[in-house]
Structure formats: C-alpha cells, structure tokens
Amino acid sequence: MDLAFTDADLKFQGEVRAWIAENYDADLKAKMAQSKNSYLDKESLLIWQKKLASKGWLAVDWPVEFGGPGFTATERYLFNMEMSLAGVPPTLPFGVKMVAPVIMAFGSDEQKARHLPPIRNADLWWCQGYSEPGSGSDLAALQMRADRDGDHYVLNGSKIWTTLAQHADWIFCLVRTSQEEKRQNGISFILVDMRTPGIAVRALPTLDGPIDGQQEINQVFFDNVRVPVENLIGQEGKGWTYAKYLLEFERGNAYAPGLMHALKKVKRIAALEAADGGQPMITDPEFRKKLADMEIRIEALNATELRAFSGRSSGEAMGAASSMLKCQGSEAQQAITELALEAIGEYAAPFVADTFSLTNEGRAGPDYAAPIAPSYFNYRKTSIYAGSNEIQRNIMAKAVLGL
C-alpha cells in the first residue's frame, strides 16, 4: 500500500481545508465545542448537511452512478481526515451510510429513484429500527410483526435505542414476517414513513442527560401501522442478509481521524493551568505516558483502517475486518473520554447536564469542562451499539480463526 501523496492529492487536501475554513462558521464551532457527542440541534445539523450536499460531498462513499463525487480511496481518506481534524459536525449516518448502501444493493429501480436523491441532498432524515426490548445483541430474537394484508403490511411492536427518532422522516426496520424454525429466515427489511398513523416516539432518559432539552435516544411504538408492500426491500424473509450487509458499513467506519481530533482536545485541556494555580496536567510524566500510549494506539488503528479501506476500493468486502475496527475504535473512544475526565480534574465531579444553553454563572467550572462528564457517560454505549464488542469477538473467532 503506497502512502505517499501525489501533487494532485495535496491539491485536493488544500481544497478541502479551504472549503472548511469558508463554511465552518463560528456559531457551529461554538456549538460543537459544547457538544457531548457531536449531535447538535436539528437545525444546526441540517445546515451542515445541506452545505455538504450543495458541494456534492455529503455522500462521499457513493458510486458515481448514484451521485457520489467519484473520490479515489486516497481522496476519501484525506477528506475524512480533514473533516475530523477540523472538528466539524459528523455526517448523519442513518441515511447516507447505512440504508442507502442497502437500497443500492438490494432495492428496486423504483426504490432507488425515490429514496437515494433525497438522501444525497439531505432532504430527508432517517433513523434505524433494529433493536427491541429483549433483542439487542441477539437481534435474531426480534418480535416486531409485519402481517401481510393485501397491498400492505401491518406493523405491531416497538424498536428501542432509536437515535434521534424524534427528528426522523423515515425509519428502516427489521420486522418478522413469518415464524420460521430458523429465526433469521423469518425477518424482512422494510422502509417506513414516520408520519404513518400509529407511530409514537417516546424519549428514553440517559445518564448523560439531554442536550439543550433534546433527547438523543428513543423508543418507537408501532400500533397497526399500515406500510405499502412496495416499501419492502428485496425479498420477504431475506432481511437478515440485508441487515448483515448494512452492519458492515455501520461497524466499518473510520475511527482514527475522529480519535486524533479528540486526543488533540484532551492535550489542549491538559496544557491549561490548574484552577488552584498548580501545574498543568501535561507536566505529569504518568499522564504524558498515557497520552503517548493513546497516540500510538490511534496511529496503529489508522494504519489498519487504511489497509482495510484500500481493500474495499478494489472490491473486497469488509467482512470480519469491520468487527475488528468496531472493537478497537469504540474502545479507544471510551479510553479518550476517560483521559479527558482525568485532564479536567476536579471539574469532572460536578455533573452538569447542560452544554451551550446555560449561562456561565450556571456552570460549575470553565466552559470547556461542561461536555466532558456527559461525553464520558454517553460513550459507554459505543462498545454495545452496532453489535456488542463481545459479539464482534465471536464473529472474528468464527470468521477468521474458524472456531
């Protein structure tokens, strides 16, 4: 794998930096600085998604035939790196990075024509309906029913841990269309308009608290929700196959660029003078060693991701590599939030649910400390979602080691 950048690559990198400098305004920067997990209010997120879409850079991994920008593997790497190092809002993954690849691979021509353009243009907000009460890591145990009634399926049940469902226009769901002896064979993949009668969204409280009064995760209830049969993706009973395909994209994201940005923030905080006039945390040799160990860990992950994504550009499937990246990346995310807690010292103790909405007088500690404890709590879930890391290790043991 050649890691040397050509003059054309460096020119593209400069173009990305210049675009970020022009479009990432002070208001968004201020909100991101106080965001516990990069999820802003709906208006701010849509503003950023629309800016990317206008430039043609929202769906950077899409094939050109579906409206992708035609980036090379190197350009995608440089683009993601510059975006992450700048600390911009992340691209909402549910439409662009999750359901869109499934529609491209298994959807009908009509479904592609209907759904892909509004996803590419950030006109619709999607959410994911996989987990249910009692069926999270054991997703094949899901029980939400979809009973055929003429030209419709009638959906009954609920989905849980549904991120930002309160904003969503559409949800993609795994549903049970039959009771097969092998549970996976009775699962189908269906697209649902969230405005359909019978859908209710209820917020779920979390330890990290809401952002500016807005929850992150929800439970979505379906009570005799009628969904046209034309919204079924592919074949009935093949949803498990499509779900596994989607999860390769959800798990196989690039973690290293975002981790580099997060570590840079920790270093900045650690270099600040202590509130009592004491020495900055960065002067502690033990803490510096932890920072160095984390930097090495991120660089190793970055090299692994480059190797994996280079293979993808030549047509290789992610396979078990997506599980490896998910384990290493999510656990590194958690470790960095622990370093951030250590870096802010006494300001980690008072838990403040607020971020940018409170006045300085309402905060315990400096502005930069406000999101640190909430982020620590929030990132406890990263080793669980998209399939718990214990399950990922089982997948790797079976697929790679043959156990």
**Average pLDDT, integer, range 31-57:** 84
* Confidence bin at 166 (pLDDT 50/70/90): very high
Sign of the CA dihedral with 327 first, then 329, 330, and 333 last: positive
- The one-letter amino acid code at 106 reads F
Helix H or strand E segment including 221: strand 218-228
**Architecture field, domain 124-244:** Beta Barrel (2.40)
pLDDT of the residue at 227: 98
On whether the CB atoms of residues 190 and 227 are closer than 8 A, the answer is: yes
Q: Which two tokens stand for residue 136?
A: 């999270």
Choose the weakest-confidence range: 17-26, 130-139, 167-176: 130-139
pLDDT mean across residues, the chain: 85
Checking if the pLDDT of 32 tops 70, the result is yes
Looking at residue 233, the DSSP 8-state letter turns out to be -
* Confidence bin at 250 (pLDDT 50/70/90): low
pLDDT of the residue at 362: 45
Helix (H, G, I), strand (E, B) or coil at 20: helix
> Most confidently modeled of 67-76, 226-235, 320-329, 348-357?
226-235
CA distances from 129 to 107, 160, 190, 199, 333 (A): 18, 7, 10, 12, 24
| First vs last C-alpha separation in the chain | 30
Task: Quote the CA–CA distance of 210 and 212 in Å, as a whole number.
Answer: 6
The predicted-structure confidence for 331-340, as pLDDT tens digits, reads as follows: 898 999 999 9
Checking if the pLDDT of 361 tops 60, the result is no
For domain 252-399, give the fold.
Butyryl-CoA Dehydrogenase, subunit A; domain 3 (1.20.140)
The domain locations on the chain are 7-91, 124-244, 252-399
Pick the closest to residue 270 from 284, 260, 280 (CA basis).
Answer: 280
Q: Which residues pair with 126 in a beta bridge?
A: 170
pLDDT of the residue at 336: 93
Task: Quote the CA–CA distance of 352 and 345 in Å, as a whole number.
Answer: 15
The predicted-structure confidence for 113-145, as pLDDT tens digits, reads as follows: 999 999 999 999 999 999 999 887 778 889 999
Choose the weakest-confidence range: 105-114, 234-243, 271-280: 271-280
Angle at 317 between CA 140 and CA 127, to 5 degrees: 50
pLDDT of the residue at 257: 79
Choose the weakest-confidence range: 250-254, 281-285, 290-294: 250-254
